[in-house]
Structures are given as structure tokens and as C-alpha cells.
């Protein structure tokens, strides 16, 4: 009875501490909620305006199912944004929801490591203290601030949330196996892997790593715990098969991921792998010794490793990271918790910090991977505290842990205040990163807003000199001149040369074409842009079908604006051949209808039906539109009544 009362008192104490911890974290993050949208926030969330104009289930589903954030559209994350459509375009409410998700993830970190601790320790008070300490440091760590306050990284947060829920369900089931409650145990474990992994992956692709993270737990901390029942068959099906399937998928798509996608990057596959050794080393340093001077969102100026000794720090990082990885593998039996922390970190970075042609450095990639490291470090501190020969060291570590929490809190609050002051944030990041195209472009945007056009031109001229092959710099400069005609335009000769041989920047191209389509660029002639696009078609980097299709689509838009309907249709047809989509077919149908080629438009609807497969969220909406247009076209053919179709009919789904 006394032991039970003591356990309840310990639980109550740790529960109260967790509650106050959540309040503290909220207060640390609160100043940052008044910040602005950054980077690709607006590009990804701009469709919320259509829902705001005409709230309907169809428009919500269309927004969720047509996201270009990734191949899978990340529908869970996009749905969470769609539910906030009434808050658009004010960022504060979006950041507030992100903060609450971060707090929820902190609670799940506590719960997961509480469950994990109970499988390796017997003292409930120590278990709760270990889990709470891990959650506390993780929640207040300044490196996680950019994941929370950069709105679109709710995708990372939600993927983490469902991954943690999946792991939690797995651990609940796993705890039943030693007691031979096999049916209940395997049901919990299966549900955790399948549902948790599916929801996590539909939030962001990192969710596919859930089975690998569980395998790491099983190979380290859970290794000595009995696995009765059909463990081998179950693990082969639920844990090994998804991991092997992922590897097979990338192997089958080798050319796309490892050849074509690298054509638009400034680095090769080998250079990225070499650079990521240094990146991972920097991540580890920032996890344990975070520096405000190095934090922020813009790291596109991260130096590339061109060889093992160029720069020399590359070789040192290769030795360091390889040693840690091998240590994690070799220490699985002798030091399972330490091995778990190391392997958990590396597994969490497997997709984003290895061979895929993503950008080199982002702080949010450490959001989940860092938690395992802190669990291992804090566990090591507890063991030193317990051992008679190292109790003094343990006490020093305890004092150090308290100091670290205080320091991290100060850093998080300071960085949060910076995120909440857009002007100071922009100036600070621009000063820290003089060679960051994004940091300097954001500064140029702010300077344009206050009429300092000479400084804007100076910034872009400097960027053009530093990055002579980057057409993105020139295109964003050109786009800004649409809004502010007093800003001089980039040199057309240099831009033409960049189009012929520079690195293709599809987002920049899309932005300028969309602006011209909306008649927002009266100072840019259609003829000059057509010349640039035609030069781009001969760019040797233009080898991906998606890129070629986008250029053809852009040509079709401009030819249509110029009144050249036949040329526009030809380019649209070419775009369709290279990258078939319902959207492009319906645009073609609309243009044929406007040209009174109703029979051809009706035939083209069969193409739309053929392409209208795959995404279950948009299939019904597209099918509804196809059948509506079919009826309208048949009426036009039969009676000559009704208005021709327009592309606006497709864009606005009612």
C-alpha cells in the first residue's frame, strides 16, 4: 500500500512538472508567433484563398489533393491547413497551431520514453524522471524552433506526431509479449506500424522510416526482452518488408532520383554525400552546443564538399560520422542505450541527409532524430549518478543539466523574439548569410516595400556576380520589378545566356509566368519572355520530363496571351505528352471550346478520363467536372447554345 501511494505521488509530481513545462515552453515560443510567412509557405498555402472565397468540401478536397509539396501530396498535413482557411493570410494562427502540435509531440516524447524506460529499468521514479528530462530538453531546445515557427514545417511535426503514436502503440503491444498475451500484443504492434506509418507518411515521407526506427529499438534496447509467438514472420512482414520495399523503389527509380533530379542542383550525387558528412557533424554540434549565431532558416549558402579533402574538414567529418555509426552498430550489446541514440539519429536522417537531391541543410531535419540522442545522454547521466564511484560526476552532470536547460530556454526565447520581428529577422539573416540567395532576396523584398530601390538593385547585381549561372536570381529580380517598376531589370543578355546553359529554377519560372498570366507584369513583353523560354528548351540541364512539360506549359500560356491559339495548343499538347495530367487536358478542352472546336474538345475529354486516376481525393471532383463539361459540349454541338468553356471553370471547383 505504501509503495502504491509512493508511486502515485511520484506520478503526480512528474505530471505537475510536465504541466508547468508546457507553460514554460509556450511562454518561450510566444514572441515568435507574430512573425511572417517564409520561403515556400505562401506557394504551398495560397490555395486557401479559394476555399475562403467559396467554402465547400469540394474546394477543401481539391486543395488537399492537388498539393505539389511532394509525390504523395502530403494530404494529412494539407488538410490541417485547409481546416484553418478562415485564418488566411494571417500567419499567427497557423504558428499557434504549430506550437500546440510541438507541445503535443513533447508529451508523446515523454510517453514513448516512459514506455521504453519501463522495459529496461525497474525504478518507476527514475523511469519517469528520465522520460521527463528527455522531453524537457527536447521541447525547449532552440534548434526545434524553426520547425515550429516555419509554418509549412507542420508537415514535419505531424509526421513526427504519427510516428511517435505508432511507436507508442508498438511499445504497448511489445510489453504484452513477455506475458504471453500474444493476440493483444501483436494487434497493438501491427496497428502501430500500419496506421502510425501510413498517417505519418501521408503527412510527410519521413513516416516511411517508422519500421526502421522500431528495428533499431529491437536491435538495441529491446534486444534482451523475450519475443514469443510468430515474431520472425511478423517482423519480416511488418518491419523488414517496408524497409526493403523502400530500397527497391529507389532502385527502380534510380535515373529519376539520382540522375535527372541532380541536373537542377549545384552539386553532384558524390558531392552531396560528401557534404552531408559535414552537415551531420554540424547538426550534432548544434544539438549539444547550439549557437544563436548559426541558427536560422537560410542555409542555401552552405559550402559544398568537392572532394574528401576539399575542404579538409570533409575528411575529418567522414571519420567522425563513420566512427559514430560503426560504434552504434558494435555497441548494440555492450551499451544498448547509447547505440540506440546514435542509430536513431542516423536512421532519422536516412531520407533527407544522404543521397536524395534535396537541399543540403535544414534545421528541422533534426526534429525527431535528436530525441533519441538526448534519451541516451540523459540515461548515461543517470547511470553515473547511481554508480558509487561516479556519484560526484553524476551530481556535476545534474547541475550541468539544469544549467543547460536554463541556457537552452534563454536561447529559445531570444531566437523566438527574432522570429517575431520580421524586419530585424530579415536584416540579421541577411548579415549572417551574405551569399545566401534567399536571405538577400528577402532583404530586397523588404527594401522594395520601403522604396529603397537602389539598394534592391545593388543586392541583385551582387548576387548575379556571385552566382552568374543562377537564373533564379535574375527571374526573382525580374518578378520583383513587376511590382515595383522603378527597380531596373536584370541584364537581358546575361539572362538569355543563363536560360541557355544555367541551372533551371522551376519555382522562379513558375512565379514569373503566373504573374504574367495575371497581367501583373506590364513592364515585361510577352515576346521577350517567349525568347527566354525558347532558349530554355535547349538548356542541357532540361532533361526531366516534368521540367520540359513545365516549359511547354509556360510557352502555351504566353502564346495564348499573345493571341496565338494554334501555337498555344501545340505547346499544351507537347506538355501533355511529357507529363500527362487532368489539369492540362481540361485547359486544352477549354481552349478548343473557345476556338469553337467543340467536337475536338469532346474527344479530348476522353483523355481527361484516362488520366483521372490515382489520387482518390481529386478523382471524384475531376470526374464531376469532366461529365459537366461533356454535357455542355454536347449541348453546344447539338443546339449551338451556351457559352464556351473557360479555364476558370476548372480552377474554381464549386
Q: Are 605 and 629 in contact (CB under 8 A)?
A: yes
pLDDT of residue 306: 96
User: Considering only CA atoms, which of 128, 145, 136 is closest in space to residue 9?
Assistant: 128
Give the pLDDT score at 221: 95
Cβ(448)–Cβ(480) under 8 Å? Answer: yes
Domain boundary among 419, 446, 461: 419
Tell me how crowded residue 540 is: count the other CB atoms within 10 A of its CB: 8
The verdict on 366 and 483 lying in the same domain is no
E-strand ranges in 196-244 read none
Residue 61 within a domain? no
In a domain, 18, yes or no: yes
Cis peptide before 348 (omega within 30 of 0): no
Q: Is residue 290 in some structural domain?
A: yes
Kindly state whether residues 455 and 411 are assigned to the same domain: no
Q: Residue 643: what pLDDT?
A: 62
Residue in 376, 380, 384, 374 with CA at minimum distance from that of residue 404: 374
Residues 193 and 338 in one domain: yes
Cell of 263: 541536373
Provide the strand spans (E) within 1-76: none
Do both 20 and 134 map to the same domain? Answer: yes
Within 8 A by CB and 6+ apart from 6, the residues are none
C-alpha to C-alpha distance for 603 and 630, rounded to whole angstroms: 9
In whole angstroms, give the CA distance from residue 433 to residue 326: 35
User: Long-range contacts of range 211-216, CB-CB < 8 Å, 24 or more positions apart?
Assistant: 211/238, 211/239, 211/240, 211/242, 211/243, 212/239, 212/243, 212/347, 212/350, 213/163, 213/167, 213/344, 213/347, 213/348, 214/167, 214/170, 214/239, 215/239, 215/240, 215/243, 216/340, 216/343, 216/344, 216/347
Domain-located, residue 67: no
SS3 content of the chain, % helix, strand, coil (to 5): 75, 0, 25
Count of structural domains within the chain: 3
Does 553 reside within a domain? no
Same structural domain, 458 and 321? no
* 448 in the same domain as 355: no
State how far the Cα of 165 lies from the Cα of 142, in Å rounded to an integer: 24
Contact of 162 with 208, CB cutoff 8 Å: no
Say yes or no: 488 and 409 in one domain.
no
Report if residue 568 sits inside a domain.
no
| 533 domain residue, yes or no | yes
Cis peptide before 89 (omega within 30 of 0): yes
Q: Do 527 and 594 belong together in one domain?
A: no
Question: What pLDDT score was predicted for residue 327?
Answer: 95
| Burial category of 466 from C-beta neighbours within 10 Å (exposed 0-12, middle 13-18, buried 19 and up) | middle
Q: Which three cell numbers stand for residue 580?
A: 500527362
pLDDT average per 10 residues of sequence, the chain (654 residues): 59 86 96 92 89 86 74 87 94 97 97 91 85 95 96 97 98 91 94 97 95 96 92 94 89 84 89 97 96 93 95 96 96 94 97 93 97 94 72 68 88 96 94 92 90 91 89 90 89 88 85 89 89 88 83 91 89 89 85 83 84 70 82 78 55 33
Question: Among the three residues 547, 565, 597, which one is the final residue of a domain in this structure?
Answer: 547
DSSP bridge pairs for 310: 307
Q: Which of 382, 385, 539, 508 is nearest to 40 (CA)?
A: 508
- Residue 446 is part of a domain; what is its CATH number? 1.25.40
| Alpha-carbon Rg for the chain in angstroms | 27
**Where in the sequence is the domain holding 618, given as residue range(s)?**
580-654
- Look up residue 192 and give its DSSP letter: I
288 and 325 together in one domain: yes
Are 350 and 380 in the same domain? yes
Confirm whether 566 is domain-assigned. Answer: no
Q: Are 290 and 357 in a shared domain? A: yes
Statement to judge: residues 397 and 469 lie in one domain = no
Of 384, 419, 454, which marks where a domain is finished? 419
Among 100, 48, 33, 54, which Cα is nearest to 79's? 48
Amino acid at each position: 500500500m505504501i509503495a502504491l501511494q509512493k508511486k502515485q505521488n511520484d506520478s503526480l509530481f512528474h505530471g505537475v512538472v510536465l504541466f508547468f513545462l508546457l507553460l514554460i515552453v509556450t511562454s518561450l515560443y510566444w514572441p515568435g508567433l507574430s512573425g511572417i510567412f517564409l520561403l515556400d509557405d505562401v506557394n504551398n498555402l495560397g490555395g486557401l484563398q479559394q476555399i475562403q472565397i467559396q467554402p465547400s468540401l469540394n474546394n477543401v478536397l481539391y486543395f488537399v489533393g492537388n498539393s505539389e509539396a511532394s509525390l504523395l501530396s502530403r494530404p494529412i498535413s494539407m488538410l490541417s491547413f485547409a481546416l484553418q482557411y478562415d485564418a488566411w493570410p494571417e500567419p499567427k494562427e497557423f504558428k499557434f497551431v504549430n506550437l500546440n502540435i510541438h507541445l503535443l509531440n513533447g508529451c508523446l516524447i515523454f510517453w514513448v520514453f516512459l514506455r521504453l524506460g519501463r522495459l529496461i529499468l525497474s525504478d518507476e521514479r527514475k523511469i519517469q524522471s528520465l522520460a521527463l528530462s528527455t522531453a524537457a530538453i527536447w521541447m525547449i531546445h532552440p534548434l526545434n524552433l524553426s520547425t515550429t515557427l516555419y509554418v509549412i514545417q507542420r508537415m514535419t511535426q505531424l509526421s513526427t506526431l504519427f510516428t511517435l503514436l505508432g511507436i507508442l502503440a508498438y511499445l504497448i503491444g511489445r510489453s504484452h509479449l513477455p506475458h504471453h498475451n500474444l493476440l493483444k500484443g501483436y494487434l497493438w504492434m501491427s496497428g502501430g506500424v500500419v496506421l502510425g506509418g501510413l498517417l505519418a507518411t501521408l503527412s510527410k515521407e519521413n513516416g516511411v522510416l517508422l519500421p526502421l526506427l522500431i528495428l533499431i529499438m529491437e536491435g538495441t534496447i529491446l534486444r534482451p526482452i523475450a519475443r514469443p509467438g510468430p515474431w520472425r514472420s511478423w517482423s519480416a512482414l511488418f518491419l523488414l518488408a517496408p524497409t526493403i520495399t523502400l530500397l527497391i523503389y529507389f532502385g527502380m527509380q534510380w535515373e529519376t532520383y539520382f540522375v535527372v533530379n541532380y541536373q537542377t542542383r549545384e552539386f553532384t550525387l558524390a558531392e552531396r554525400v560528401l557534404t552531408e558528412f559535414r552537415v551531420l557533424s554540424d547538426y550534432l554540434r548544434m544539438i549539444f552546443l547550439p549557437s544563436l549565431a548559426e541558427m536560422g532558416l537560410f542555409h542555401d549558402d552552405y559550402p559544398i564538399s568537392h572532394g574528401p579533402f576539399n575542404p579538409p574538414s570533409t575528411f575529418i567529418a567522414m571519420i567522425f560520422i563513420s566512427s559514430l555509426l560503426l560504434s552504434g552498430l558494435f555497441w548494440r550489446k555492450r551499451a544498448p542505450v547509447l547505440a540506440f541514440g546514435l542509430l536513431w539519429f542516423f536512421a532519422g536522417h536516412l531520407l533527407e541527409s544522404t543521397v536524395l537531391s534535396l537541399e543540403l541543410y535544414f534545421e528541422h531535419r533534426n526534429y525527431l532524430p535528436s530525441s533519441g540522442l538526448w534519451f541516451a545522454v540523459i540515461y548515461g547521466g543517470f547511470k553515473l549518478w547511481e554508480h558509487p564511484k561516479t556519484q560526484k560526476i553524476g551530481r556535476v552532470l545534474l547541475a550541468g543539466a539544469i544549467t543547460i536547460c536554463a541556457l537552452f530556454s534563454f536561447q529559445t526565447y531570444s531566437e523566438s523574439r527574432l522570429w517575431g520581428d520580421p524586419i530585424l529577422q530579415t536584416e540579421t539573416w541577411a548579415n549572417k548569410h551574405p551569399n545566401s540567395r534567399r536571405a538577400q532576396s528577402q532583404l530586397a523584398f523588404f527594401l522594395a516595400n520601403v522604396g529603397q530601390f537602389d539598394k534592391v538593385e545593388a543586392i541583385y547585381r551582387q548576387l548575379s556576380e556571385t552566382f552568374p549561372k543562377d537564373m533564379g536570381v535574375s527571374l526573382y529580380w525580374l518578378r520583383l520589378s513587376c511590382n515595383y517598376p522603378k527597380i531596373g531589370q536584370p541584364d537581358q543578355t546575361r539572362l538569355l545566356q543563363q536560360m541557355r546553359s544555367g541551372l533551371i529554377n522551376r519555382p522562379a519560372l513558375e512565379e514569373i509566368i503566373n504573374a504574367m498570366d495575371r497581367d501583373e507584369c506590364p513592364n515585361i513583353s510577352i515576346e521577350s519572355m517567349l525568347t527566354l523560354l525558347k532558349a530554355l528548351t535547349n538548356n542541357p540541364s532540361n532533361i526531366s520530363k516534368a521540367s520540359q512539360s513545365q516549359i511547354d506549359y509556360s510557352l502555351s500560356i504566353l502564346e495564348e496571351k499573345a493571341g496565338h491559339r494554334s501555337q498555344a495548343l501545340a505547346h499544351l499538347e507537347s506538355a501533355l505528352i511529357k507529363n500527362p495530367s487532368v489539369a492540362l487536358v481540361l485547359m486544352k478542352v477549354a481552349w478548343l471550346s473557345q476556338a469553337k472546336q467543340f467536337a475536338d474538345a469532346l474527344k479530348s475529354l476522353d483523355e481527361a478520363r484516362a488520366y483521372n486516376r490515382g489520387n482518390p481525393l481529386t478523382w471524384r471532383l475531376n470526374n464531376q467536372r469532366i461529365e459537366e463539361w461533356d454535357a455542355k459540349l454536347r449541348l453546344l454541338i447539338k443546339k449551338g447554345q451556351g457559352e464556351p468553356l473557360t479555364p476558370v471553370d476548372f480552377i474554381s471547383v464549386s
